[in-house]
Structure 1
């Protein structure tokens, strides 16, 4: 058999796939000498250097300094700048403790000349504890400020423009909740361009768009370098992350959610510094934001409700078409695969039973490929806990682990195919694999964009095979040409999809990459089947194991301690003022000798020391007792009312902690007010509240306390983030502590 045409065809397909990844150039950062009407990464970075000079968690000095700088900057641009103050509350799904804060959103307005609505450039300016937040969300802040400056240059836009820099995003999207809870500053539709980051590099992707989105995607597609993908909108829901976009969308606003996700090991850490933020990513995000905002400011925003949903994908830019086309293409794939099955059965290359058996095997192989892709990094973290970042468990240099995931998936698929090919037959397996792709695509039809990354590669591939089957057998080379032509869309779509999957991180992205490898393997089988060995599944499996182990070891070597940015630790400190006892704790197991010396006890829940995490198992160990004053509770009122009691207290922190907490045991809370705002009491009442007020907060509780008064206990706590207050504490050598926490707790009986 002449295999040369198949080899050449496979090379063509692979080269096209690689080209789809490497040919698009990243944006070139523009300097401060760029024309005033253009977006300049250098000018935007100058803002980021200021706001990300220090961490800016709620109510911290850095938070206040950043807000003052941002207000001053927008004022200097001539925008009407105000600070929206209020209180926001968030109820986590994994805890009964409510999270609240007194917030200060920055809202700057440039009125339009003949407005039909308002365009909002949004980002959040707060950070998590100890993180400078140059990317999260310095990149969004810098993008909004520089785009606002460019929009100020020249003629005033038709529609109103608002720069919205929200507060409290890291505490539960609180600032966006506050903004949407009040009447908008202008009547008419609002379109929000939200900017975010889950890393410090990578290509900005608009991964969520409000519905209906036909006009929004059309407008976005006019921006050079814009990328969007409807598939990510559903996939994002599986990640433990969210953005302010959710609150905007819930409020019925139009909007885009755009973010970068490369370099995610730096996310939410002290290492998220301005010097580590990709200027190329900043430039591309800014270019897209400015171009899209300019188009929107000249658009009749009252017409945005027209149109049907459109699917956007990104092989080399935006590909958009109506939702009904996705349905039609998926049904066409089902028909084409059925036709191919009929052809194979009529020619006696396969039987219905063998095709069904092959489909079952192919499904198992695809699942196994995803699991195999997940294993290298999972095992690496178990062997060396410090390899991954604390917030999301990512290495600084993921390349070799990504390669290991892809090799593992390919090896599993190849070994399974070789093992069953003689029994089921190559034609039956090829059709069975396509049946699996088709069934998954059909199952995904209820969800926007899920079928598209399966249909776009599979349908042309099947049509190419059908054309090849219609050609005479003697035209063997032309038959290969037909198959290769049908595979080119698969190369353009699926190869980039494999790599893009890793933007979700190795934990979530590696299995997804393995699934896309399985799709590519399935559509390539008509071309690659003659090139694969007829037997020898065991040698293939052994070779795969060696290759995966080699890639994994190289990943460990390139990420070895001292060869990358500092490794990360997570440590909490809690002082029980009633008992005079203190503990170190962490939701993570020890990552080094340093943390192992602190966390000497097996993981267990510590509800007394950490009341907002009563069921979380924490590694822990005894700690020195720091001379920290406990939170102060001043009883303002304690009156029997309606079979219960109204208890009003002032809660404050002598040590100046901005976050205060209170939990009630022994009574049901019927109503509650914190700092003048009502809060849902829920089944088990407790809260953490952050404020800049040094006098603390007033708490009013309506208690259903039918039993003896002395049985009601109120547990209080205050929280800071400076571990150096602990006697004898010294930072881990060559490492950084992520999310440092210092808690002082006490119990007050009433």
Structure 2
């Protein structure tokens, strides 16, 4: 076999393997409504989603009540008696500087088993944020639950109970899940929790977080027949991030389970465009197939207690591979020994040189730095050419696939270019050997520090070492074409394991952090390149330059395609704030670049400053401009009890909100010496009270859907202490603002997605001393 044929075969093998890896990592195709009744159909679930995501339905809104009624009616129509857990609830441990709360209405559909050994809880939240219809977050999870419930009812009863828990008030601080997990009697019987979420509008449903002692659950996931996409890498990354879902509450309650979600389409997250028109039905199909398979499998399982052991797990094509986490260090050490043996053999046979190995190690690090620097420079250039990308608060793009493909092509160009230079000092085998040495060391290090990701290093290093040993048997003057082909074949595990995770990495980190992703991707390419492309003549010209040209084309097309319109609108921030005490009003905007519509109210040169009085949770300056004052209804505070005993003052207040203001914020003056606090009848534990007392700007309470008669607050302070607080009613619209700003909003703009910056809202505040 000639070197040219070996090179061509290597390229073909690489392309086929990468395509297969992407195929197996994609979501299944959505089934139509005519699919057999015993299977999950995204077409049928879509009918539910159309009702759930017809408009934004935050807690406390009329639309929210309509969604709840639809859930209750649908569950009853499926032959299950629904239960609504209606209660006031708080989550004192959710935030460092505030306490969220809400009047929650969790909807429960309890399907009894024939000989139950426990309850399988399937969970998704039915509330949305104020700025989004919530088709993905979390209408998809809710619609999948309804369709799964229907499919289960077509078959024989299961052994175990299955609870479909439609939680409320997740977006307000996981309050609904907290109310169920800590206050509903059925929570004690829950054995496994399956939570379904979304941080985008499309893509495969990933199992990104298992509970502790997860090996037995991973075994069940593999045996269930579910088309699961899972990796212990996700868990290693997620546990180090400051993110939470309803699953967090169940973990705090001592439960275990699996957490699923899809990530792609981040620009739709919490946005006006998280609607049915922009939603990927394949993601709904993936949610549902996994949900139904696990419900049937776990529903008939004995649910025997299992040893509290974690697992390392990952997809290898159509298979979910798993092993005990305790195996990670031995596997990594075996890979290290295999690499060391290959290096020793190569040095003894004269196929490897110590200097060449040094250059090989240096080539990998140089490639990583060069790739990250090239991506950073390219993204800066894209932002300068298309300034609109810089105003997107998510740090991503509507059509990120083109940019990701372009940045990957650029990374490959940089890696090949750098390593082509190093080929002047080292042989191709030495580049491979140097890269394998680094990967083997990383495998061992990660096996002890983060075992969930060690397989990404250890498996390619082990297979690569075996192939390198076969390649090194020939003479250095005439490298074997078969040996080179064997080296290319050894890249298959790295391709199968890494290709899906490379895309997940860019999607998860967003384009703003693409250079960080490249620091992980470039070393992978630096390992693959000598294995696959090194036999090519003049790789700088045959690979690096074409990839550079392709990168320029893809990034250029991405810039041209990335234009704001009604389907892909520009986020634009305007809020109207009223100080009822002073009779003053202000326009607010958190935009770095104020667009034409927002500049009618807040000019581009308006001063920016912190505005804690209105935006206590906002972390940066906002533009502030005077606005016409409109005397809007303000919150009111009524003292219902005031007594002093044993040196302590016990004060009971009722804080009433205003119509169509779902959120009430109550902020205590900084330094208020709180000794105890009860919110809506729910006592706040001492450590949370202490945190509120020590907040520099003053402790904050945020309560959604204030009950009739007002939010009851019971405060205990030292005798003689006056309590000063500021109550703010928040409406998530501009309907009452002067000049009707919302009516003038162009179709190619939208409110800033909730949680990222100041959105369309009207804030009316009043300050008093009691």
TM-score relative to the length of structure 1: 0.91
Contact 1:503 1:509 in 2 (8 A): no
Distance in 2 between residues matched to 1:700 and 1:692, nearest whole Å: 15
* Cα pair distance change 1:304/1:725, threshold 3 Å: farther
- 1:427 Cα deviation from its structure 2 partner: 4.6
- Deviation sequence 1:61-92 (CA, Å, 0-9, x none): 11111111111211222223211233433468
- 1:690 Cα deviation from its structure 2 partner: 1.2
* Cα pair distance change 1:510/1:200, threshold 3 Å: farther
Contact 1:434 1:523 in 2 (8 A): no
Secondary structure of the corresponding residue to residue 695 of structure 1 = coil
2:73 is aligned to 72
Secondary structure of the corresponding residue to residue 104 of structure 1 = strand
Where do 1:112-511 residues align within 5 Å?
112-182=113-183, 184-185=185-186, 188=189, 190-221=191-222, 222-237=224-239, 239=241, 241-305=243-307, 309-348=311-350, 351-352=353-354, 355-356=357-358, 358-360=360-362, 362-370=364-372, 372-373=374-375, 376-377=378-379, 380-381=382-383, 384=386, 386-387=388-389, 390=392, 392-423=394-425, 426-445=428-447, 446-471=449-474, 476-504=480-508, 505-508=510-513, 511=516
Where do 1:490-569 residues align within 5 Å?
490-504=494-508, 505-508=510-513, 511-512=516-517, 515-531=520-536, 533=538, 548-562=551-565, 564-569=567-572
Q: Aligned to 1:687, which of 688, 701, 714?
A: 701
Bigger shift: residues 436-445 or 583-592: 583-592
- 1:382 Cα deviation from its structure 2 partner: 6.4
Secondary structure of the corresponding residue to residue 216 of structure 2 = helix
Unaligned runs of 5+ in 2: 755-759
Contact 1:344 1:427 in 2 (8 A): no
Contact 2:343 2:433 in 1 (8 A): yes
Distance in 2 between residues matched to 1:106 and 1:630, nearest whole Å: 32
2:631 is aligned to 627
Alignment of 1:748 onto 2:768? yes
Distance in 2 between residues matched to 1:182 and 1:115, nearest whole Å: 22
Alignment of 1:722 onto 2:733? yes
Contact 1:378 1:507 in 2 (8 A): no
- 1:578 Cα deviation from its structure 2 partner: 2.5
* Cα pair distance change 1:625/1:404, threshold 3 Å: farther
* Cα pair distance change 1:482/1:387, threshold 3 Å: same
Contact 2:574 2:761 in 1 (8 A): yes
- Deviation sequence 1:633-686 (CA, Å, 0-9, x none): 122234445555333221112444222122222522111112111233222322
- Deviation sequence 1:250-298 (CA, Å, 0-9, x none): 3232311111222221111111112322222212221221111101111
Secondary structure of the corresponding residue to residue 716 of structure 2 = strand
- Deviation sequence 1:660-715 (CA, Å, 0-9, x none): 122222522111112111233222322111124243212122124767x4xx5322
Secondary structure of the corresponding residue to residue 449 of structure 1 = helix
- Deviation sequence 1:480-514 (CA, Å, 0-9, x none): 23212212222222223222323313335663355
Distance in 2 between residues matched to 1:280 and 1:511, nearest whole Å: 29
Alignment of 1:674 onto 2:685? no
Contact 2:368 2:518 in 1 (8 A): no
Alignment of 1:701 onto 2:715? yes
Alignment of 1:733 onto 2:729? no
Distance in 2 between residues matched to 1:99 and 1:375, nearest whole Å: 42
Distance in 2 between residues matched to 1:550 and 1:238, nearest whole Å: 36
* Cα pair distance change 1:509/1:136, threshold 3 Å: farther
Distance in 2 between residues matched to 1:27 and 1:382, nearest whole Å: 38
Bigger shift: residues 164-173 or 333-342: 333-342
For the aligned residue pairs, the C-alpha RMSD in angstroms reads 3.0
Secondary structure of the corresponding residue to residue 406 of structure 2 = helix
- 1:186 Cα deviation from its structure 2 partner: 7.2
Unaligned runs of 5+ in 1: none
Contact 2:367 2:526 in 1 (8 A): no
* Cα pair distance change 1:526/1:261, threshold 3 Å: closer
Q: How many aligned residue pairs are there? A: 744
Where do 1:638-653 residues align within 5 Å?
638-643=642-647, 645-653=649-657
Secondary structure of the corresponding residue to residue 531 of structure 1 = coil
Bigger shift: residues 162-171 or 33-42: 33-42
* Cα pair distance change 1:75/1:385, threshold 3 Å: farther
TM-score relative to the length of structure 2: 0.89
- 1:623 Cα deviation from its structure 2 partner: 3.1
* Cα pair distance change 1:232/1:125, threshold 3 Å: same
Secondary structure of the corresponding residue to residue 614 of structure 2 = coil
Contact 1:311 1:326 in 2 (8 A): no
Contact 1:30 1:40 in 2 (8 A): yes
Distance in 1 between residues matched to 2:314 and 2:12, nearest whole Å: 28
* Cα pair distance change 1:288/1:438, threshold 3 Å: same
Secondary structure of the corresponding residue to residue 709 of structure 2 = coil
Contact 1:373 1:511 in 2 (8 A): no
- 1:7 Cα deviation from its structure 2 partner: 3.6
- 1:402 Cα deviation from its structure 2 partner: 0.4
- Deviation sequence 1:120-162 (CA, Å, 0-9, x none): 1211001111211111111100111111111122321110111
- Deviation sequence 1:87-114 (CA, Å, 0-9, x none): 4334688762222212121111111111
Secondary structure of the corresponding residue to residue 675 of structure 2 = strand
Distance in 2 between residues matched to 1:610 and 1:647, nearest whole Å: 26
Distance in 1 between residues matched to 2:445 and 2:459, nearest whole Å: 16
Secondary structure of the corresponding residue to residue 723 of structure 1 = coil
Contact 2:674 2:716 in 1 (8 A): yes
Secondary structure of the corresponding residue to residue 571 of structure 2 = strand
Distance in 2 between residues matched to 1:226 and 1:427, nearest whole Å: 37
* Cα pair distance change 1:623/1:550, threshold 3 Å: farther
- 1:725 Cα deviation from its structure 2 partner: 1.4
- 1:543 Cα deviation from its structure 2 partner: 8.1
